[in-house]
Each structure stands twice: as structure tokens, then as C-alpha cells.
Chains A and B, each alone.
Chain A
Amino acid sequence: MNSAAFVLIAILTLAAALAAATLQKLMHATLSFAVALVGVAAFFFLLGAEFVGLVLIFVYIGAVAVLIVFTILLTRRDVGKDRGANWGGALLAVAVFGGLAWAVFKTQTVATGAPHIRALTVKRIGEALMTSYVWPLQCVGLLLTAALIGALVLVMEEKR
């Protein structure tokens, strides 16, 4: 049953990703991108990493997709124009795909049976974040606070 679910989710994710890359209307592309992200979150659910899947939906659908949508809305509307094939982008995509494929083939232990791991509970993630990864966590927190204050400064009313 799990493999059937895997195939179904994989088809959905890939189709949505393809749609996101090829659809003419920018808004449709964004929404297909959101669907693709839901598919990725479903993979995490299938692997038992519920927390990661939920955070993925939370951050990418709830924040990033909405941000993209706002960006599209508040910028110029020249979506109808056909700008021709983007060769630089295609080159970059091929390079990334090649790099990933190289990394995957270089890893030799893929075929061996996966070791039995404990369920990834929220408690374990919290413990790891608060003990071994506390410095990276604090750095990320500082960065996000700086970004928040920066956003506030940008929109602050100028006193005259």
C-alpha cells in the first residue's frame, strides 16, 4: 500500500512541478508550485516525519506561496508576452540535475535495507535543537529578528 501511495504522490508532485514550470499564467504556475509542495510534504508524512511535513506546509503554503502571490500582484503585469526560451535557466537546471544525479550515484549504500529508526517525534526534534544545534538555532533567530526589524525600518513613516 505504501508503494502505491508513493507512486501516486510522485506522479502528482512531478505533474504539479511540470505545470509550475510550463504554465503560461504566472498565477496558475504559483498555485501548481503550491500543489507540488503539498506533494513533497506528503512524502515526509509517508516516511513518518510528520513534523517536517507539517512545517513544510506551514511555511511554504502559508507564507512563501502567499508571498509569491503578493509579489506577482504588486508588480508589473506583462505576463502575456512570450520572451522565448530561457537558455541560461535551462543550463542551470541541467547543471543542478547533473550534480544531484552524480551525488546520488556516488552514494553506494542506497540499495541496502534502511536501518530501523525511531519515530521522529516533536520531542526528539526539540531536544536536538536545544542541545547539539543550539548555536545554529540562535544564529537563525538573530538573522530573522534582523530581517523583521529591517522590514519595519523599510516601511516606517518618515517624520517631517
Chain B
Amino acid sequence: MSKSVDQIFVNAKQWLLSWLMPAPAWVVQIVSSLINIFALLAVFLTLFALMSVLERKILGRIQNRYGPNRVGPFGLLQPVADGIKMLIKEDIVPARADKLLHFLAPILIAAAAILALGVIPYGRNMTPFTIDGGILFFFAVGSTTELAVFMAGWGSNNKFSMLGAMRAIAQMISYELPLIITVLPVVMVVGALMPDRIVGAQAEYTLGVVPRWFVFTPWGATAFILFFVSGLVESNRTPFDVPEGESEIVAGHMTEYSGFKYATFFMAEYIGMFAITGLATTLFLGGWHSPVQVLEFIPSYVWFFAKLSTLLLVYIWLRGTLPRTRIDQIMNFAWKFILPMSFACVIAAAVWHYAGRGLRGWLWSFVVIAIVYTALSMLLDTQRKFAPRVYRFAE
């Protein structure tokens, strides 16, 4: 019973494909891909709509106000109203803009974000696009986002757009490195770049209670936190949203966009967020496995989306709590703290592996992380007393 519920979507797809039996193999293959794409888009665009209204509601709660509550029950139809508004808005293109690049940028950015969703395993046998180097695919696709942001900034022919794009690319490049290096320990320990194998490696339970997720090892916990922070920067969210800091440069690279193009940028940002949290779930939180063995009868996709939603809730919570950081603080943090710590994670994972993956490995890798952390905090503590700021380049 529970098994058939678990596999209901897989079976439904097989049933749909069985109608196509007389057709040649390549037709079946294309239709199969199309079904995957439609399912992915349907699920994540719905999640995007839900997330946008939930975010406003939760932010409202944090700031002691109601948030949207006029359209539909509890304001749940707000995204529909927003969508209609965005669609019927005038599409303004600046006269001096590079028309082609201005038009292509939102398309490219949305395509890259959606493609990255394809390699994440959403449940048992539910990976839309199985590929040997799935993790690499994720990052390769993600790296094209920078070019799209640049196209938006340069194509708009506007100082604010250009500055925003420069900031965005600077912080995205800086944090892409730690993002990839924190993935390395997991890849090393599992010995595969395939998301399904990584999830499979976290399937068992110690004593039937504690799941063997990588987040429960010292190196895994550290790597997870670093990955989460880097993911926050990659998706340009508060507290790292300087590229679109409203108080300084209007909306960064999106300044000259209006109507549905702006909505596309917005959507790409959220879908990128889903992708990065989905990857964090896959890598460190055991993917679609249940946290307790007795609860394994609950379908795998329910667990995956429960974990995903928890991480997204933390994103919203952070946005409601933290102020915006300065660009030089972001850069210093990346190169002086996050990068050395992520290298320490790689070493700690190697130590964990060679000390037998048990309690001894746990302790030794904890020691490695602790030493590096203490050393870094001593080195970075400049002992500077607070004093009036000295300006070097301005009077």
C-alpha cells in the first residue's frame, strides 16, 4: 500500500507512456522528457506562487503587521492577482538599451534556473534527468547565470543596472568557489557525482534511530552551514542582497525591467533558491529519506518537500531578521573565512574516512574543524578598537 503511494507518480508516468507503445523509441523518449519538464514546471511554479505569498505573510508577522489578506481566503490568491498585474503592465524598453540583450537576459536567467532543478532526486526513482555528473551539471548550468545577469546590466545601458550587475557578478563568483568546495567532501566520501548515489549513501540508520545523513558528522555540519550561507549569497537574498539594494541602486540589474520581464527575474531568483536548497537537502540532509526508520511508510517525496520547505522557512526568517551587509564585508567574509573553512571540511572528511567512519573518525574530524576554526578566529580578530572611521579616498 505505502509502496504504491510512494511510486504513484512514477507509475502514472509509466501508464501515460504505455499509450505510446507502438511509436518508435525516440518519440517515447521525447514524450517522457516532456512529461518530466511539465511536472517540474507545474510543481515549482506553484511552489513559487505559494512561497511569494507565504514570505510576505511571514515577514508581516515578524514585523508585527498582517501582510496580504484581501485577495481570496487568507490572501492566498494574491499571487494570481500579482501575476495578472504583471502581465497587463506596459513593457518598457529604454530607447538607448541594447534591445536584443535586454530581451534575452530574463529568458536566459530563467532557463538556467529551471535547468538546474532537473538533476535533483525528488523521491524514490523520481530524478527528472539522470546523468553521471549530475552535481557538475548543476554548477555548470548555474555558472551561466552570471552571464545573464551581466547581459541584463549591460543591455539596460543604465548606471544603476551596470553597478548592480557588477556587484552581483563579483559576489556570485566569490561564493561559487566555497559553494563547490563544500560539495567536495560529500563527493569524496560517496565516490560519485550522481545525486541518486549521494542520497543512497545516506540511507541507513545508526541503531535504527539516528539517520546517517552527512549533516550529523562534524565535517558535514560545517560544510552544510557554509553551503547554506554561500547559497544565500548565490541567490542574492538578504542579508546579501547588495546587488539589488533598493536604498542605493534602485533594483540593480533589474532597474530597467518592467512588467512580465521583471516577474521573470523574480521567478528565476526564487527557482534558483529552490534549486540550491534542494541540492543542500540532497547533499547533507539525506534527500528523500525519512529522519526516523519507523516513519518510512510516508512517501519519499513528502519528506523531500518537507525538508525543502524547512530550509525555505529559514531563508524567510533570515530575511526578516538580518540587516543588509556591505559589499566589502561580504567579500572579506568569503575569502578570509568561508574559503579556508571549506578547505578544512575537505581535510576533515578525509580524516573521517581514514579513521574508520565511526566514533573515532567523528572525534578526529571534529578536532580538525575545531583547530581550523579557532586558528581562523584568532587570525581574523584584529583587536581593533572602535574609533572614528578614517576615509582614504574621500574627504
A57-65, A78-86, A102-110, A132-140: which lies at the B interface?
A: A57-65
Interface residue SS majority, chain A: helix
A121/B132 contact (C-beta < 8 A), A54-B137, A54-B140, A58-B139 known: yes
B145-153, B291-299, B366-374: which lies at the A interface?
A: B145-153
In chain A, residues 39-95, which have Cβ atoms closer than 8 Å to a Cβ of chain B? Answer: 50-51, 54-55, 57-58, 61-63, 65-66, 69-70, 73
A61/B147 contact (C-beta < 8 A), A27-B154, A66-B173, A123-B191 known: yes
Contacts of B150 in A (CB 8 A): 66, 69
Query: Hey, what's the 0/1 contact readout for B141-184 against A, CB within 8 Å counting as 1?
Result: 10110110011001000000000001001000100100000000
Q: In the bound complex, do residue A50 and residue B143 qualify as a contact, i.e. CB atoms below 8 Å apart?
A: no
Q: In the bound complex, do residue A31 and residue B193 qualify as a contact, i.e. CB atoms below 8 Å apart?
A: no
Contacts of B144 in A (CB 8 A): 57, 61-62
Q: Is A34 in contact with chain B by the CB < 8 A criterion?
A: yes
Contacts of B141 in A (CB 8 A): 57
Q: Which of B131, B147, B173, B176 touches A50 (beta carbons < 8 Å)?
A: B131
Contacts of A122 in B (CB 8 A): 132-133, 136, 192-193
Q: Is B38 in contact with chain A by the CB < 8 A criterion?
A: no
Residue with the highest number of chain A CB atoms closer than 10 Å, among B26, B133, B139, B191: B133
Q: In the bound complex, do residue B143 and residue A57 qualify as a contact, i.e. CB atoms below 8 Å apart?
A: yes
Contacts of B176 in A (CB 8 A): 62
Query: Cα distance A128–B228 when bound, in Å?
Result: 33
Query: Cα distance A119–B133 when bound, in Å?
Result: 13
A62/B101 contact (C-beta < 8 A), A31-B151, A69-B150 known: no
Q: Is A7 in contact with chain B by the CB < 8 A criterion?
A: no
Determine the interface band of chain A, counting residues with CB < 8 A from chain B. Answer: 20 to 34
Contacts of A27 in B (CB 8 A): 98, 101, 154
Q: In the bound complex, do residue A58 and residue B191 qualify as a contact, i.e. CB atoms below 8 Å apart?
A: no
* A105 CB → nearest B CB, Å: 35
Q: In the bound complex, do residue B132 and residue A65 qualify as a contact, i.e. CB atoms below 8 Å apart?
A: no
Closest chain A residue to B104, Cβ basis:
A31
Contacts of A31 in B (CB 8 A): 101, 147, 151
Contacts of B147 in A (CB 8 A): 31, 34, 61, 65-66, 69
Query: Cα distance A119–B26 when bound, in Å?
Result: 21
* B141 CB → nearest A CB, Å: 8
Contacts of A55 in B (CB 8 A): 136, 140
* A14 CB → nearest B CB, Å: 20
Closest chain A residue to B180, Cβ basis:
A58
* A137 CB → nearest B CB, Å: 16
Closest chain B residue to A41, Cβ basis:
B140
Contacts of B191 in A (CB 8 A): 123
Contacts of A114 in B (CB 8 A): none
Contacts of A154 in B (CB 8 A): none
Q: Is A111 in contact with chain B by the CB < 8 A criterion?
A: no
Q: Is A1 in contact with chain B by the CB < 8 A criterion?
A: yes
Contacts of A62 in B (CB 8 A): 139-140, 143-144, 146, 176
Report A's interface with B, CB cutoff 8 A. 1, 25, 27-28, 31, 34, 50-51, 54-55, 57-58, 61-63, 65-66, 69-70, 73, 119, 121-123
The 4 closest A-B pairs by CB, nearest first: A62-B143, A58-B140, A57-B140, A54-B136
Report B's interface with A, CB cutoff 8 A. 26, 98, 100-101, 131-133, 136-137, 139-141, 143-144, 146-147, 150-151, 154, 166, 169, 173, 176, 191-193
Supply 10 further A-B pairs (C-beta < 8 A) apart from A55-B136, A61-B140, A69-B154: A50-B131, A54-B133, A57-B140, A57-B141, A62-B176, A63-B143, A66-B169, A66-B173, A119-B132, A121-B132
21 A/B residue pairs, CB under 8 Å, sorted by A? A1-B26, A27-B98, A28-B100, A50-B131, A51-B136, A54-B137, A55-B136, A55-B140, A57-B140, A57-B141, A57-B144, A62-B143, A62-B144, A62-B146, A65-B147, A66-B147, A69-B150, A69-B154, A73-B154, A122-B136, A123-B192
